[in-house]
Chain A
Amino acid sequence: MSIKIKNISIKGIRGAKESLELPLNGRSILLYGDNGTGKSSISDALEWFYTNRVSHLSSGEIDLKDALRNATLTDEDVSEVSVSYIKGEAFNATKSLFVKRGKLGSEFTNTTEEFGKYLDNSTKENLLLRYQYLRDFIDNTKGDKLKYLSDIIGFSEVTKKKDVLRKSYNSLKTEIKNQNFEAQINTQKEVLIEKIGAAISRKEDLIEVINKKIAPLKTGIEVKEMEDIDSLLEHLKKGTNNKLNEELTFLEKVKATTDTLKSEIEFINTEYDKYYEEFEKIAEDVESIMQTFLAELLKTGDTVLAKKYHKDESCPLCLQPKNIEDLRNEIAGRLKEIEESSKKKALFDKAKQSIGAITVERIKRLDNLLLEKLIKQEDHKAIHAGTTALKEKIEKFQRASVEKVTSGNKIPNKDTVGFQASDFDFQSVIIDRIKEIKIIQEKDNSAVVYSNVSASKDAFIKIKYFEKQRIRLEKQRKTLEIIYNEFIKKQKEGLENFISTFSEKINGFYQYMNPDEPFQEIKIVTIGEDDELNGITIEYEYNGEWVSPPQKYFSESHLNCFGLSFFLASVEAFNDNNDFVLLDDVISSFDTNHRKRFAELIFEKFSKYQIILLTHEYDWFKNFVSPLAKQKNWIINEIKWSEDKGTFLDEKPNDLKERIEQSIAESKIEGLGNPIRIYLEHSLKEICSNLDVKVSFRYNDFNEKRMPDELINALKSRIKDKSKELKEEFPTIERVANSALFGNLLSHDNPFNPKIGDLKAFWSDILALENIFVCDKEDCRRPRVSLKNYDNVAKNVRCGCGQTTYDWK
């Protein structure tokens, strides 16, 4: 889309009391307005229209809606901003601000989804630049600079997705560590060694050993596959004491699980100790962790100071006297401290997460044992008690892992709750009972074989299961690692591509405004490692050396030039919908040379865009920009202010006439009442002034606000006394006065909705009236009929060349 503005109409907003129209028709406009004339009403209105905010009215002390309303309006008055477009007619809309039930509310007339989307997209575009925000980007912290650009190009979303991938990768690493496959596999290998004399790893070897073990029993069964082992076990079970077999299986399971846990004593204790140390560190300095919650507040405070929302030399919160620069340095120092605290907290969180996951997994394993039917039997109450005690111990770890570090509560140290070998003393009961069973089974060879085959089969399957689990997790971890690294690469490429193209553009604009100066190769650069970009800074080459930040050698003008270059580069880079920009007094602090170069830059490099250029620099406006603007067919105008009208556009009658005629030609009569009234008033005032028509005395502004009917009556009265020839023109004059539309115009700003035919006829009558008093000869230098050209001899009033002459006694 290349949307340009056709018309902006502002009423009752900021300085604009009456309707302030900018009939642009897609053209650029140069507007001069002295300080205090309210030209920023236009930028305020447009900013509010698009973003629902006005940046310089964003202080908490200001009620934006209230501040937007013209101060003289009553509750019944509605404030409005209407914008119509070229190449975007569907988005034409009026945003109004009105009092409803004692409160100020606002709404758009255009409620289509299409318009909502356009508005949403436009909010992200760079449509408006004010002088006071030129240095915003430069003054931002390196992190905020990155955030600013990231938000615009949608990199914040990229960062979010990167975080998801990183967390997923980390969770796999944690899972592998927590499972402690090595310990689990080793326990099962020990079972194999005990039962069949070797920690075999191949299925074929297991089958071979089993076949050897069962050979003396002459079962007639040959194990060929794993499934055959089950048939063998069924066969062996028939001749054995089944209860003893079950008990042995149960005891061996408890032993294996508790053996694994025992082998993990150091691992678990170390992980808990790490957590305990991090907990202590944080608990001893809870204040610094609490400070991390203040980071956002401090950042906001710094933004308030950087953007000069608070201009006094005091703290914006407590209002104690304070040098702003000192305060900002203090804030930077505190933010640095907070950054350290955040790092500490990250270490703590990692340790907490690790011990949490470890305890959950171990409790699950012990719960499995506690669900065993045999563990509840009286005979095994020591085993039950021992297992329960182990679980309780782990639960202590778990409780400690969820303790809030800011609660002030202490958590037990490793020496108090850590696992000790003695926690596993109850295993002696298991071992003894296993021995007893084995002695019983020794008398029965089948039972011994059954027990060994069954246990070794289970251990073998478990080893294979753990190995597969480990491989799967490793495979997933590897994949996530590759994906994450590839993502970082793409993100970096994307950002670098953007930054280098963007830097080139900024440098181009900057060099254009600052030719032959020693600041070269201005660019924005990223700070931080590949996977943890933490900021952006600006640097340039100065006398062969790279300099950063730019404030080091840049003058005020240079800094502002950079701000402008940055904005213009952003316009080209990010504005996809709109081809217009509003520049509000942006050259205020520029020296003459920079002002000149800026104007040339705008006219030369930005001719594709519709520019709304506001300035209060009269010399620049008059002597430099106006001639260039004229050449480029820009609209040039002045903004003025009066107590009566508020901010208004001092439109030249010729421009006004051209606008009215164009609108009539296009049959676009909406809002045409005001310009016609202004034109008629202007025209009648000039005629009356030229013929010295007298009207009653009025003070100041009321004198300005003469109504057309008053002027026409006074004109007729004067003509009646002075000129027979002009009296013959009364029918033409009266056609205007008697028009049905004339009455509607008497009230300033009357809603005026005539039919196009009536309007054409009325406009034609106004022109006919005007033509009575204007010479139509092309080379007439003073075409207005005026007493300045009064012929004393012939007693005539006439134009400069004398072609249009009337008797005048």
Chain B
Amino acid sequence: MEEKVKSGKEILDDFFENIGTIENVDPEIAKMLNKLYNDDKLTDTNVKNELQTLRETDVDKD
């Protein structure tokens, strides 16, 4: 086609690459999701565990 249509993978790559630039998004969470995606480990269990870790890290900072 004349106009390049993005494949599913391209849409995902773009989304996770720019996830940190989405307004009002916690940069730590954006970073974590980006890393899981790039490591091909983006599963709900992994996200849940990472969110828990981030909350605990937050507590440590207090």
Residues of A bordering B, CB below 8 Å: 150, 153-158, 161, 163-165, 167-168, 171-172, 468-469, 472-473, 475-476, 478-480, 482-483, 486-487, 490-491, 494, 497-498, 501-502, 505, 572-573
Contacts and interface: CB of A to CB of B under 8 A. Distances in A.
Contact of B5 (A150, A468, A483, A502): A502
Interface of B: 1, 3, 5-9, 11-12, 14-15, 19, 22-26, 29-30, 33, 37, 42-44, 47-48, 51, 54-55, 58-59, 62
Contacts of B29: 476, 479-480, 483
Contact of B6 (A171, A476, A494): A494
Nearest to B11: A494
B8 A157 contact: yes
Contacts of A498: 5-6
A775 B45 CA distance: 84
A168 B47 contact: yes
A478 B24 contact: yes
B42 A164 contact: yes
Contacts of A158: 8, 11-12
A157 B9 contact: yes
Contacts of B6: 494, 497-498
Nearest to B2: A501
Nearest to B23: A482
A154 B33 CA distance: 20
Contacts of B58: 468, 472
Contact of B25 (A161, A172, A479): A479
A501 B5 contact: yes
B62 to A, nearest CB: 7
Contact of B7 (A154, A478, A482, A502): A154
For the residues of B in contact with A, the DSSP-based class is helix
Contact of B43 (A156, A164, A478, A490): A164
25 contacts: A150-B8, A153-B7, A153-B8, A154-B7, A154-B8, A156-B8, A163-B44, A164-B43, A164-B47, A168-B47, A475-B26, A476-B54, A479-B25, A482-B22, A482-B23, A482-B24, A483-B25, A486-B15, A487-B15, A490-B14, A494-B11, A497-B5, A498-B5, A501-B1, A501-B5
For the residues of A in contact with B, the DSSP-based class is helix
B50 to A, nearest CB: 9
B48 A168 contact: yes
Nearest to B19: A483
B6 to A, nearest CB: 5
B26 A468 contact: no
Nearest to A477: B51
A305 B25 CA distance: 49
Contact of B51 (A157, A168, A494, A497): A168
B7 A171 contact: no
A167 B44 contact: yes
A349 to B, nearest CB: 14
Nearest to A171: B48
A172 B1 contact: no
Nearest to A471: B58
Nearest to B42: A164
Given A154-B7, A502-B1, A161 B37 contact: yes
Nearest to B26: A479
A542 to B, nearest CB: 26
A486 B18 CA distance: 11
A468 B59 contact: yes
A627 B41 CA distance: 58
Given A469-B55, A483-B33, A573-B1, 20 more contacts: A153-B7, A154-B8, A154-B9, A157-B8, A158-B8, A163-B44, A167-B44, A168-B48, A171-B44, A468-B59, A473-B55, A476-B51, A478-B24, A479-B29, A482-B25, A494-B6, A497-B6, A501-B3, A502-B1, A502-B5
A147 B20 CA distance: 30
B42 to A, nearest CB: 5
Contacts of B24: 478-479, 482
A469 B7 CA distance: 40
A152 to B, nearest CB: 9
Nearest to A167: B44
- Counting chain B CB atoms within 10 Å of each CB, the highest count among A171, A487, A494 belongs to A494
Contacts of A472: 55, 58
B18 to A, nearest CB: 9
A226 to B, nearest CB: 12
A684 to B, nearest CB: 54
A52 to B, nearest CB: 24
A486 B42 contact: no
Nearest to A155: B8
Contacts of B48: 168, 171
B8 A573 contact: no
A155 B20 CA distance: 23
A576 to B, nearest CB: 10
A639 to B, nearest CB: 34
A573 B1 CA distance: 5
A473 B25 CA distance: 14
